[in-house]
């Protein structure tokens, strides 16, 4: 290794990572399972899909011909990154659920080229991914500071460091769609609190469209989404010593036209009872009984603007792909405009 010059040695370290996870995460899985599997209509929150196998399956979903959201969002980012950089003049990018930061580079490139970029603040539950991308990004962008926050964006937004200048808070991928309307408002309001007068929220949302296109995106021909869905049962088997046989459950994905959301469910193929040993819990399934594992809301421009307004945000730019499949919205605090 090259010896450091005095000025480099005195500089603050480029990477700083703080973890806020602990036992609370294990408790959250146990509580969600106890609560969700004893309801009259059984349900599990989608956040427990993403162990390492789940994250891999999700990456494969993003490559599927039927699953258009990832490609559409990347197209929009590529088309609009320079405009976003110009409109925001952001010195920092805070990214909620940063993952591998694959799409983030498009934004970082634009901010770097515009000459404003100083800091990247990834917020994610997976420490190894945040560390790996911090190392890569500080290598790719000389002078970039990375302040990683290992945590859950539903609970740890107060750990996001104060802004050092105009910031973009990015919430990409359409993840906001996982929250039912009431929680969605709460999450959006909490995110809005990260914004000061000169700051912007950049959010990705999937749009309402032909139900056949939507349902195919969540029920692909290769069965990758089905495997992803059933993976949550393997997570319960491992983490809570449960004895689910994933093959006892059939993957179901349907578009609920009234609520305008996709629902994924696991349908029990036969009557049976499973034991969740860690919770001392017996769970009975009738033949054909369904367990809801995810909702993924699809938006119309009107509804999205309404949701943003309820969180005290007003729309600055509505950006979409040439096929109008997906939207990226840039918004900011309404009372300050
Ligand atoms: C990561 C929540 C945006 O809802 O489209 C993909 C997850 N589920 N296929 C989505 C998912 C089934 C995805 N989000």
pLDDT value at residue 26: 75
Q: Between the CA of residue 324 and those of 14, 72, 208, 315, what are the distances in Å?
A: 39, 9, 10, 18
pLDDT value at residue 23: 78
225 Cβ inside 6 Å of ligand 1:
yes
Q: Which band of pLDDT confidence, cut at 50, 70 and 90, is reported for residue 12?
A: low
Instruction: Look over the chain and give the mean of its residue pLDDT values, rounded to a whole number.
Output: 94
Token readout for 95 is: 């990214």
Q: What is the pLDDT of residues 243-257, one digit of tens each?
A: 999 999 999 999 999
Mutation to probe ligand 1, out of 57, 74, 294 (largest number of atoms < 8 A from CB):
294
Ligand 1 atom with the shortest distance to the CA of 229: 12
**Cβ pair 309, 184 in contact under 8 A:** no
Ligand 1 atom with the shortest distance to the CA of 262: 4
Q: What is the pLDDT of residues 188-228, one digit of tens each?
A: 999 999 999 999 999 999 999 999 999 999 999 999 999 99
Q: What distance in Å separates the CA atoms of residue 258 and residue 118, rounded to the nearest whole number?
A: 44
Residues 56-68, mean pLDDT to the nearest whole number: 97
Q: 21-39 burial string, b = 16+ CB within 10 Å, else e?
A: eeeebeebbbeebeebbee
pLDDT value at residue 11: 60
Q: What distance in Å separates the CA atoms of residue 67 and residue 61, rounded to the nearest whole number?
A: 7
Q: Which band of pLDDT confidence, cut at 50, 70 and 90, is reported for residue 10?
A: low
204 Cβ inside 6 Å of ligand 1:
no
Task: Name, in order, each residue with C-beta under 8 angstroms of 257's C-beta and a sequence gap of 6 or more.
Answer: 211
Residues 123-132, mean pLDDT to the nearest whole number: 90
Percent above pLDDT 90 for the chain: 88
pLDDT value at residue 281: 98
**Cβ pair 94, 168 in contact under 8 A:** yes
Residue nearest ligand 1's atom 14 by CA: 175
Task: Name, in order, each residue with C-beta under 8 angstroms of 27's C-beta and a sequence gap of 6 or more.
Answer: none
pLDDT value at residue 337: 47
Q: How far does the centroid of ligand 1 lie from the alpha carbon of residue 233, in Å?
A: 17
229 Cβ inside 6 Å of ligand 1:
no
> Residue 9 above 70 pLDDT?
no
Q: How far does the centroid of ligand 1 lie from the alpha carbon of residue 46, in Å?
A: 9
Q: How far does the centroid of ligand 1 lie from the alpha carbon of residue 175, in Å?
A: 7
> Residue 2 above 60 pLDDT?
no
Q: What is the pLDDT of residues 282-295, one digit of tens each?
A: 999 999 999 999 99
């Amino acid at each position: 290794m090259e010896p450091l010059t005095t000025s480099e040695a005195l500089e603050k370290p480029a990477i700083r990572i703080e973890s806020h996870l602990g036992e609370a995460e294990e408790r959250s899985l146990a509580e969600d399972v106890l609560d969700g599997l004893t309801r009259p209509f059984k349900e599990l929150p989608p956040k427990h899909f993403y162990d390492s196998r789940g994250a891999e399956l999700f990456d494969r979903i993003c490559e599927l011909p039927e699953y258009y959201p990832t490609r559409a969002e990347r197209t929009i980012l590529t088309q609009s990154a320079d405009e976003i950089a110009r409109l925001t003049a952001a010195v920092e990018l805070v990214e909620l659920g940063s993952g591998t930061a694959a799409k983030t580079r498009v934004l970082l490139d634009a901010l770097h080229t515009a000459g404003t970029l100083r800091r990247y603040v990834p917020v994610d539950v997976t420490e190894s991914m945040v560390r790996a991308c911090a190392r890569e990004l500080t290598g790719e962008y000389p002078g970039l500071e990375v302040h990683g926050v290992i945590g859950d964006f539903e609970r740890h937004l107060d750990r996001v460091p104060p802004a050092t200048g105009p910031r973009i808070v990015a919430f990409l991928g359409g993840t906001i769609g996982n929250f039912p309307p009431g929680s969605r408002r709460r999450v959006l309001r909490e995110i809005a609190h990260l914004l000061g007068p000169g700051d912007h929220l950049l959010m990705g949302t999937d749009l309402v469209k032909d139900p056949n296109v939507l349902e195919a995106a969540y029920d692909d021909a290769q069965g990758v989404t089905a495997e992803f869905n059933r993976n949550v049962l393997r997570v319960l088997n491992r983490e809570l010593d449960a004895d689910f046989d994933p093959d006892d459950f059939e993957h179901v994905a349907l578009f609920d036209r009234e609520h305008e959301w996709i629902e994924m469910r696991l349908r029990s193929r036969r009557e049976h009872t499973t034991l969740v040993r860690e919770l001392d819990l017996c769970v009975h399934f009738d033949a054909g009984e369904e367990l809801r594992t995810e909702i993924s809301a699809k938006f119309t421009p009107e509804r999205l603007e309404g949701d943003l307004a309820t969180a005290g945000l007003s729309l600055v730019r509505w950006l979409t792909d040439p096929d109008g499949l997906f939207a990226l919205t840039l918004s900011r605090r309404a009372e300050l405009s």
